[in-house]
Amino acid sequence: MKQEEVNDKSRRDFLKTAALATVAATACGSLACSCNSKKAPVSDKVKLLSPTGEIVEIDSAYLNHEEHMAIVSKLEAREGIAGKKFVMVVDLAKCKNARSCVSACQKWHYRPKETEWLTVKLLQDSDKAAPYWFPKQCFHCDNPPCVKVCPVDATYKRQDGIVLIDSDRCIGCKFCMAACPYSTRVFNWDEPELSLDIKNLAYSPETGIPAKVGTVEKCDFCPDRAREGLLPPCVEACPNGVFYFGDENEDTVSNGLETVSFTQLIKDRSGYRFMEDLGTKPRVYYLPPKDREFPVEKGYQDADSAIKERFKDFKDILEAKE
Amino acid sequence: MELNNYQQEAFEYQRKNIETYGKRAWGWTIFYVVCILVGLYALYLQIAKGHGVTGMRDNVVWGLFIVNFIFFIGLSYAGAIIAGLLHLSKVTWGKPIIRLAQFMTLVSVIIGPIFILLCVGRFDRMHHLFIYPRIQSPLTWDVMAVLTFFVGSVLFLYLGLIKDFSVYRDAKLNIPKWKQKLYKVLALGYRGAASQKRHLIISQNLMAIIMIPLAIMVASILSWIFGMTLRPGWHSTIFGPYFVLGAVYSGCGLLIVAMWFYRKLYKLDYYFTDKHFTYLGYVMLILAAGYGYFTFSEYFTDWFASEKWNSELIHKLFSTSEYGWWTLFANAAGIALPIAIVAIPATRKPGPITIAAFIMVIAMWVKRYLIIVPTLETTLLPMQDTRIEYVKYAATWPEWALTIAGIASFLLFFTVMSKFVTVVPVSGLEDTHTVHEQHLLHPEPTLENTSKA
């Protein structure tokens, strides 16, 4: 499984940045926290894909630890990437609540464990319906209720479809949070704890780093990575290829394992948008959990107790089938 | 400026109130200041430690501060509408209470927005509202509306005071020099000349005409902060009128309470007569019926159509394990009680009406809480959060301390203002002799009268 995951990493990405520590670490699951800081030699070995296509093991100290991508100007961060229209497809049939996406997201964005820009819910549409795991991030709506209500234009819609927040401008009124029907946004209630290596980074709305107290933040579709042609960490980290990310204009989406036609995928798998009736026009599509790869209980049984606690309402259904 | 007998009498009667700042006034002032200082300490904590010291979290992003904001700003709009109508109408009985309504307008439009500032994560960036304004946000509308309204209510109150200031200036009051001077400056050289009179009355009429629709607009805009979202219980077409009515209703209640209080404190029985209580009681009854009707249609349609999120909210509001008792209190004490008290002749007296009004004002505060918090606790996606403070809102002591500080500021303003200008507008009594015939029979307040009050 892990082996496969490493093999599937895009070669191009590796060559381009030679800085896949984060990605590899997530894939290998062996480098939980060494990426954040020091360069002192550590004995941790990291499995990487070499330019010739072999898996190699390197001491993580020899890697260029990943800095966040190039900082673009505030204006560029407002306009977005020309010619793109980012879209995401989430395949509910493949999700087993592994939560690799969640931790990869937190790691990439230097967010604490409690802050989940991306979260996995357990939904059940009606009493008799089968429950299913539902990864949920910002939907980057085309008719975004949050953007409509922002009094200072701190949250905005870009031409590439992404909804971003400028934490330098946000006044923290939380109107966007009240307006978002999907409870996507989170607030920095207290002074965020920032590690030394990111504390003094220049802020960009595209990276959202460093976080600022009294401001709102949320999933940003990782535009800094998109500029480099990289997939968001959640997409890359998912062991099951649940997330497809891509460009609607090019009509391609990729989950890191396969690259497919967006329209074809939506057509073949009856893709839909969550709560379409709200009229928000999300840019995230879901594929219904038909022919599932995992029984829903698996995601519950394999979860640690703190996560299990979240789904206590479903305890009866999920444990009875054990 | 020349005064007629009634005015002269009203002035002489209230003279001592603005000449002295008695022990009792000082006592209360100090008490209010202490309350405000405690609130300021809570504010300091909130600034130093972040909004984590409040009970607000990612789901319930607004709490007591927004409740207070709606409450105070509602009182303000009510004051403007009531004062405006009383000013324009020919009924003379209303003139003595205009100033109280205007006090309420001004102080609430200052305190209300302070609460929204407290709720904002970065008030060091408030200037962003002006340098990066975004016109399609209801909050931007609200900023413009409240600022306009603030200017309007300052002018409206001040125009009504100019004549009075000239009276105080000319009266050789036994007061410190600075106060004497202040009156002189504020009177703007008003001498009662025909042209001055004309200008003043035109300006006052204009302001009254402006303030009434303005109050309706700003109250609606306030409601749209909630109405424009896709939240159950908020996304309602009647929210504009609902808020306007709620504002006037609670403001009418508070005006009754203020009237009763000053009548007791300054023995103003001749100006705030039983008739005033009865009349305002009738107004309160009509507004209560209207508000009850709106509340009923709001809940009934949501309950009957039983859309998923709306039913969930209705269930929360009516279930005794959640907000049921509060809903009962808000509607029984906030709607049924005032109606009953005013409708029954035996209780249609200043005392019971005031008590009912006072309880109603509290119930209306609770009602605002029920509008804000349960909706925010009803998310469209299940929260599935194990952190209880994220699931359920519970106000923390800094929020309560600041709430109390807000109430204290309100009362402090009334205390200070009632020592600076006469509560009953002297100049406003020009045509009120018909009302005060009874008064003429007792030109001097007798001991029996005052002690009875």
Domains located in chain A, CATH noted: 2-62 (no CATH), 74-287 (3.30.70.20)
Nearest chain B Cα to A153, which residue?
B134
User: Tens digits of per-residue pLDDT, A134-189?
Assistant: 999 999 999 999 999 999 999 999 999 999 999 999 999 999 999 999 999 999 99
| Same-domain pairing of B262 and B121 | no
Distant-in-sequence, close-in-space partners of A42: CB < 8 Å, separation ≥ 6 = A34, A59, A60, A61
Average pLDDT on B208-225 reads 93
- Whether A34 contacts A9, CB under 8 Å: no
The string of pLDDT tens digits covering residues B378-437 is: 999 999 988 988 999 999 999 999 999 999 999 999 999 998 998 888 887 776 554 444
Considering the domain architecture, whether residues B428 and B373 belong to the same structural domain is answered as no
pLDDT of residue B193: 87
Nearest to A213 among B50, B62, B143 (CB): B50
- Record: contact B134-A151, CB cut-off 8 A: yes
Cβ distance A178 to B231 less than 8 Å, yes or no, reads yes
Instruction: Say which residues have a Cβ less than 8 Å from residue A204's Cβ, sequence separation at least 6.
Output: A71, A72, A74, A77, A224
Q: Are A297 and A314 in contact (CB under 8 A)?
A: no
Beta bridge partners of residue B244, listed in sequence order? none
Residues 118-147 of B with CB under 8 A from A: 119-123, 125-126, 128-129, 132-134, 136-140, 143
The set of residues, in sequence order, having a beta carbon less than 8 Å from that of B23 and lying 6+ positions away, is none
The answer to whether position B448 is within a domain reads no
Local structure of A58: helix, strand or coil: strand
Does B321 share its domain with B402?
no
**Chain B residues touching A314 at Cβ < 8 A:** none
Amino acid at A309: E
C-alpha distances (whole Å) from B296 to each of B170, B282, B300 are 55, 21, 6
Angle B419-B425-B427 (CA atoms, 0-180°, nearest 5)? 130
Residue at B388 is within a domain: no
Interface of B with A in 50-79 (CB under 8 A): 50-52, 56-59, 61-62
pLDDT of amino acid B170? 87
Considering the domain architecture, whether residues B219 and B249 belong to the same structural domain is answered as no
Overall average pLDDT of the A217-233 stretch: 93
Cα–Cα distance for residue pair B271/B262, rounded to 1 Å:
10
- CA-to-CA distance for A181 and B151, rounded, in angstroms? 36
Residue B174 falls within a domain, yes or no? yes
pLDDT tens figures, B189-212: 898 888 998 999 999 999 999 999
Contact B105, B84 (CB under 8 A): no
Left if phi > 0, otherwise alpha if psi is -120 to 50, otherwise beta: which for B204?
A: alpha
Spatial separation of the C-alpha atoms in residues B119 and A17, rounded to whole Å: 43
Average pLDDT over residues A211-223: 94
Please name the residue of chain B whose CA is at the shortest distance from the CA of residue A168. Answer: B125
Q: Are residues B327 and B413 in the same domain?
A: no
User: Do B55 and B192 fall into the same domain?
Assistant: yes
Do B239 and B329 fall within a single domain? yes
> Which chain B residues are Cβ-neighbours of A149 within 8 angstroms?
137-139, 228-229
By DSSP bridging, strand A55-59 and strand A259-261 are unpaired
Section B74-86 average pLDDT: 93
Calculate the alpha carbon distances from A160 to A80, A94, A165, A205, A247 in Å: 5, 27, 15, 14, 9
Closest CA to B284 of B371, B365, B366, B358: B358
Q: What would the DSSP string read from start to end of B212-229?
A: HHHHHHHHHHHHHHHHTS
Query: Under a CB-based contact definition with an 8 Å cutoff, are residues A149 and B139 in contact?
Result: yes
pTM above 0.80, yes or no: yes
Statement to judge: residues B152 and B206 lie in one domain: yes
pLDDT number for residue B192: 84
Task: For residue A151, give the nearest of B49, B56, B139 by CB distance.
Answer: B139
Residues of B with Cβ-Cβ distance to A74 under 8 angstroms: none
Distance from CA of A198 to the nearest CA of B (A): 21
What pLDDT is recorded for position A278? 94
The three-state secondary structure class of A250 is coil
Query: How do residues B309-367 score in pLDDT, each as one tens digit?
Result: 999 999 999 999 999 999 999 999 999 999 999 999 999 999 999 999 999 999 999 99
Q: β-pairing, A252-254 with A119-123?
A: unpaired
ipTM: 0.88
B94 with B164, same domain: the answer is yes
How does pLDDT run across B123-174, given as a tens digit for each residue?
Answer: 899 999 999 999 999 999 999 999 999 999 999 999 989 988 998 888 888 8
DSSP B225-254: HHHTSS-TTT--TTHHHHHHHHHHHHHHHH
For residue A151, list chain B residues with Cβ-Cβ distance below 8 A: 129, 133-134, 137, 139-140, 143
Residue A29: the pLDDT is: 37
Is the pLDDT confidence value at B11 over 90?
A: no
- Asked whether the beta carbons of residue A189 and residue B57 sit closer than 8 angstroms, the reply is yes
B369: domain range? 231-379
Q: What is the pLDDT of residue A60?
A: 65
Residue B262 · residue B440 · CB < 8 Å: no
pLDDT over 70 for what percent of chain A?
80
Same-domain check for residues B219 and B237: no
Q: Which helix (H) or strand (E) holds A43?
A: none
A189 contact residues in B (CB cutoff 8 A): 50-52, 56-57
Q: Where are the alpha helices (DSSP H) in B336-396?
A: 337-343, 350-377, 388-391
Q: Are A204 and A71 in contact (CB under 8 A)?
A: yes
Question: How many domains are there within chain B?
Answer: 2
Q: For residue A215, which phi and psi values (nearest 5 degrees)?
A: -130, 165
Which residues touch B304 (CB under 8 Å, ≥6 apart)? none
Identify all chain A residues contacting B57, using CB atoms and an 8 Å cutoff.
187, 189
pLDDT in tens, A281-309: 999 999 999 999 999 998 898 888 889 99
Flag whether B10 is in a domain. yes
More confident residue, A17 or B282: B282
Contact call for A181 and B50, based on CB within 8 A: no
Task: Give Cα B402 to chain centroid, integer Å.
Answer: 17
Q: Calculate the CA dihedral of residues B210, B213, B215, B220 and round it to 10 degrees.
A: -150
Tokens of B83: 């004062």
Interface size A-B, in CB pairs within 8 Å, comes to 134
Asked whether residue B106 is assigned to any structural domain, the reply reads yes
- Report yes or no on B386 lying in a domain: no
Q: Among B449, B284, B451, B291, which residue's Cα sits nearest to residue B352?
A: B284
**Distance between CA B129 and CA B149 in Å, rounded?**
17
Residue with tokens 């960490």, as numbered in its chain: A233
Q: What is the distance in angstroms between the Cα of A143 and the nearest Cα belonging to chain B?
A: 12
Residue A153 with chain B: CB contacts under 8 Å: 132, 134
A104/A87 Cα distance (integer angstroms): 19
Residue type, B11: F
Which residues in chain B are contacts of A186 at CB distance < 8 A? Answer: 58
Residues of A within an 8 Å Cβ radius of B: 114, 121-123, 136, 145, 148-154, 169-175, 177-179, 181-183, 185-191, 213-216, 275, 278, 280, 306, 309-311, 313
Does B34 score more than 90 pLDDT?
yes
Smallest CA-to-CA distance from A149 within A186, A174, A112, A132 is with A174
- What is the pLDDT at residue B22? 84
Q: Which two tokens stand for residue A71?
A: 């900082």
Q: Which two tokens stand for residue A37?
A: 């800081």
Residue B453 lies inside a defined structural domain of this protein: no
pLDDT of residue B373: 95
Shared-domain flag, residues B216 and B126: yes
Residue A90: strand, helix, or coil: strand
Q: Between chains, do A151 and B143 touch, taking CB under 8 Å as contact? A: yes
Q: In which band, very low, low, confident or very high, does the pLDDT at A39 lie, cut at 50, 70 and 90?
A: very low
Chain B partners within 8 Å of A188 (Cβ):
50, 121
Q: Which residues of B touch A275 (CB under 8 A)?
A: 380
Over the stretch B108-117, which tens digit does the pLDDT of each residue have?
999 999 999 9
Residue A133 three-state SS: strand
- In angstroms and rounded to an integer, the radius of gyration of the C-alpha atoms of chain A is 19
Indicate the residue of B51, B129, B384 with minimum beta-carbon distance to A171.
B129
Contact check, Cβ <8 Å, B230/A278: yes
Nearest CA in chain B to A178: B61
| pLDDT(A3) > 90 | no
pLDDT at B231 over 70: yes
Q: Per the structure block, which two tokens stand in for B124?
A: 């060091």
- Whether residues B384 and A122 touch (CB distance < 8 A) is answered with yes
Residues B239 and B275 in one domain: yes
Residues of B in contact with A191 (CB under 8 A): 49-50
What is residue A24's predicted lDDT score, i.e. its pLDDT? 41
Helix (H) / strand (E) containing A100: helix A100-108
Decide if B440 is inside a domain.
Answer: no
The residues with which A82 forms a beta bridge, in sequence order, are: none
Residue B30 is inside which H or E element, if any? helix B23-49
Choice between A18 and B333, residue whose per-residue pLDDT is larger:
B333
Of B52, B129, B228, nearest to A151 by CB-CB distance is B129
